[in-house]
């Protein structure tokens, strides 16, 4: 569940969030693609970091 106000709708929260500013959505998608496709960090390590960040931010993993 998002902690910010996003447009109402039935679609995925991320899609609805980036629909507010599609240019930022495209930039975020490009960045994410580069991180996941060209990372020198192993998948297991990256997921461990992602889980730790979620824990620090009190987000359910």
| Residues 15-35: tens digit of each pLDDT | 888 888 889 989 988 998 888
What is the spatial distance between Cα 39 and Cα 49, in angstroms, rounded to a whole number? 13
Distance CA(26)–CA(34), nearest Å, equals 12
Are the C-beta atoms of 4 and 17 separated by less than 8 Å? yes
Report the C-alpha gap between 45 and 41 in whole angstroms. Answer: 7
Q: State pTM to two decimals.
A: 0.53
Is residue 13 within 8 A of residue 2, CB to CB? The reply is yes
Q: How many CA atoms lie within 13 A of 37 on its CB side?
A: 6
Query: Does the pLDDT value for residue 45 go beyond 90?
Result: yes
């Amino acid at each position: 569940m998002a902690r910010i106000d996003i447009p109402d709708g039935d679609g995925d929260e991320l899609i609805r969030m980036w629909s507010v500013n599609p240019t930022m959505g495209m930039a975020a998608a490009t960045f994410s693609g580069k991180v996941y496709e060209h990372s020198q960090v192993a998948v297991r390590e990256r997921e461990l970091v992602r889980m730790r960040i979620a824990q620090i931010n009190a987000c359910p993993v």
